[in-house]
Amino acid sequence: MSVVLENGRRQFDYWATVYKRTWKGSLVSSFLLPLLYLAAMGIGLGSFVDGTGTGALGGISYLQFIAPGLLAATALQIAVGESTYPVLGGIKWQKFYFSMIATPLRPADVMYGQLAFVAFRVLTTCAVFLLVIALFGGLATPWGLFGLPVALLVGMAASAPVCAVATRLDNDSGFAMIFRFGVIPAFLFSGAFFPVSQLPNWIEWLAYLSPLWHGVELSRDLSLGTVDPLAALGNLAYLAAWFVVGTWFAVRGLTRRLIS
Amino acid sequence: MDASRVWKVSEQRESLVHARGLTKAYGAFEAVRGIDLDVRRGEAFGFLGPNGAGKSSTMRMIGAVSPVSGGTLRILGMDPATDGPAIRARLGVCPQDDTLDTELSVQENLTVYGRYFGLSRAECRARAAELLEFVALTDKAKVKVDELSGGMKRRLTIARSLVSKPDLLLLDEPTTGLDPQARHLLWDKLFRLKQAGVTLIITTHYMDEAEQLCDRLVVMDGGLIAAEGSPYELIRDYSTREVTELRFGPEVMSTDHDALAGKVEDLAQRIEVLPDRLLLYTDDGERAVAAVHERGLQPAAVLVRRSTLEDVFLRLTGRTLVD
Ligand SMILES: Nc1ncnc2c1ncn2[C@@H]1O[C@H](COP(=O)(O)OP(=O)(O)OP(=O)(O)O)[C@@H](O)[C@H]1O
Ligand SMILES: [Mg+2]
């Protein structure tokens, strides 16, 4: 364990340097899209929904209904983005992972470093986004701030398995599939915009399989102060399982790829 | 304790790389098919061999990043299967393909790399400045690696392998793509590193480089070691002291070369017929030339030169391309 931490510390400067070089470029992709959604759906669609009475939402505004879910969905998107091209780049294009394992670092350390960087990106982006949400009055209660750790967990639950897939890809065409058949459906049917119970039964069950739905549930329940401890524990455990199992496969995939 | 035993122990300690029956297989394909090696502390050891001979595969095993398929391998007295990180902490590696981070600056590539070895930031900065000076990239310190020429990237990769002040330096074709100035500069520096006690393992396709740098080398071919020795020993054992090259004018068809070769066969220890010339391997080249003229042959051009490693290499591995 202490070796893992030490080897993580040794990678700090690398990731800090990468971040210094890329943060400006990632601003647009990180913030613009979620803000657009927030404006269009929360405020635009929201004023329309709210105008017809907020009874169905239990007395909160539509913005307050979707904001916690949108936060979790943003975490997912950032996490997947940071776990696709950067990971394959380290293996195939720039090959910097190979330079890392020529040092005392091991493939597992390299994977943990990558995941830690994803965590940092998710956390910082979501923190800013949460601030914006709060300023727009998107939080029904201050408890909504706990959406941040939930967003982090959602991010990691998505990042680890996507890294695992990326370490097994030969080219980037697989990423289009991940976005098309993974991220976008998960986003649309996450329950962020409407309760998934509105959906036909089989889609509803598919939605329950997605880690994002669990993140959205948790995030919204926290924000509205409607947490059911047992359900919340279930959500947490489900997200943690995706992260842990995903990490195991990601480490294994990277090891096989770097060591031949 | 008897003397032979003491001697054995000390030899063991001095052997930084010790391999017996070492093999490397990728699936069903065996790239390294059982080699024995001993690289002793302080020496410069070279791998020569045609493309696909298994040089890089061997280097990666020694670099403790590629598991051994069979046989034994000890590096710095340790087992790469269990002590990989401890071994790699004391190695400097310049891989055949550059693995630089092209998004980072030249300097950042060095400082960040030093951190992987646990060096302090100050130490990394100082080492980076020193090494950039050495590879003549100080002007480019702040430039993104993307913008460097191929040879500059190569120099940066070499500099990077030195950041951690390694005991054992593994250089896989370090000078491929370098201009003559840079190559000579590097030889100079490697020589000084060797003097300072660093052990070098080098693969190269440049025979002059091997001759200049290596105390001892092996010629690999098809995953096996074809010959081993110092450059001098190899030339002595696998070639002659001199080579006489006879060129005949364009009016002499290359098919006639065989007939010509028949006439001078007995003048050399070995004779080689090439499309454009005849090579006579002999210890006294001038005498061979005189004899050729005595027999009434009129080569258009004659060259007498010393045997080189290249002659050894071509003799051992053939002139044809494999694969
Ligand atoms: N990762 C790998 N997977 C499968 N085969 C490999 C792998 N690496 C090398 N080989 C094969 O092993 C053989 C030896 O390759 P290696 O790179 O060791 O040769 P080399 O002597 O370094 O050649 P070169 O002079 O071209 O660099 C080649 O036939 C190559 O195709
Ligand atoms: Mg090679």
Query: Distance between CA A187 and CA A193 in Å, rounded?
Result: 9
Query: Distance between CA B212 and CA B67 in Å, rounded?
Result: 32
- CA of A109: which chain B residue's CA is closest? B116
Query: Which residue is associated with the tokens 């470029």?
Result: A25
- pLDDT tens string B126-159: 999 999 999 999 999 999 999 999 999 999 999 9
CA-to-CA separations, B310 to B219, B283, B316, in angstroms, rounded = 11, 17, 10
Average pLDDT score over residue span B13-39: 94
Query: In sequence order, what E strands does B183-290 have?
Result: 199-203, 216-221, 224-229, 242-247, 270-273, 277-282
* Residues whose CB is less than 8 angstroms from the CB of residue A39 and which lie 6 or more positions away in sequence, other chains included: none
> How many alpha carbons fall within 13 Å on the CB side of residue B245?
12
Q: Kindly tell me if the per-residue pLDDT of B3 is higher than 50.
A: no
Please list every residue in chain B whose beta carbon sits closer than 8 Å to the beta carbon of residue A260.
26, 66
Average pLDDT score over residue span B186-213: 92
Q: Kindly tell me if the per-residue pLDDT of B172 is higher than 60.
A: yes
pLDDT at A54: 59
Helices (H), B135-206: 150-162, 180-195
Q: Kindly tell me if the per-residue pLDDT of B319 is higher than 80.
A: no
Answer yes or no: are the C-beta atoms of B75 and B87 closer than 8 Å: yes
pLDDT band with cut points at 50, 70 and 90 for residue B1 = very low
Query: Distance between CA B174 and CA B59 in Å, rounded?
Result: 13
- pLDDT tens string A52-93: 765 667 778 899 999 999 999 999 999 999 999 999 999 999
Query: Distance between CA A48 and CA A5 in Å, rounded?
Result: 51
ipTM: 0.92
Residues belonging to chain A: 260
pLDDT at A211: 96
Q: Which of A130, A184, A151, A16 has the alpha carbon at shortest distance from A75? A: A151
* pTM for the full predicted model: 0.91
Interchain CB contacts (distance < 8 Å): A and B: 77
- pLDDT tens string A191-238: 988 989 888 998 899 999 999 999 999 999 999 999 999 999 999 999
Cβ contact A13–B115 (<8 Å): yes
> B6 or A202: whose pLDDT is higher?
A202
CA-to-CA separations, A192 to A74, A186, A207, B99, in angstroms, rounded = 11, 10, 11, 42
**C-alpha B98, offset from chain centre:** 17
The dihedral sign for the CA sequence B98, B167, A114, A107: positive
CA B99 – ligand 2 centroid, Å = 14
Instruction: Please give the share of chain B, as a percent, with pLDDT higher than 90.
Output: 75
- pLDDT tens string A10-43: 999 999 999 999 888 888 777 887 888 888 888 8
Query: Distance between CA A62 and CA B130 in Å, rounded?
Result: 61
> B295 or A239: whose pLDDT is higher?
A239
Q: Kindly tell me if the per-residue pLDDT of A47 is higher than 90.
A: no
pLDDT at B11: 47
List the Cα angle A187/A188/A190 in 5-degree steps.
65
pLDDT at B14: 75
pLDDT at B177: 87
CA dihedral A75, A78, A79, A83 (to 10 degrees): 170
Q: Kindly tell me if the per-residue pLDDT of B256 is higher than 80.
A: no
Q: Is B88 on the interface with A (CB under 8 A)?
A: yes
Q: Kindly tell me if the per-residue pLDDT of B281 is higher than 70.
A: yes
Query: Distance between CA B269 and CA B267 in Å, rounded?
Result: 7
Instruction: Please give the share of chain A, as a percent, with pLDDT higher than 70.
Output: 98
Which of B23, B26, B206, B317 should be mutated for ligand 1, with most atoms under 8 A from CB?
B26
**C-alpha B303, offset from chain centre:** 28
Long-range contacts of B118-122 (CB under 8 A, 24+ apart): B118/A6, B118/A10, B118/A104, B118/B89, B119/B163, B119/B164, B121/A13
Q: Is A6 on the interface with B (CB under 8 A)?
A: yes
pLDDT at B12: 47
Strand partners, B280: B244, B271
The mean predicted confidence, pLDDT, of chain B is 91
Q: Kindly tell me if the per-residue pLDDT of B6 is higher than 80.
A: no
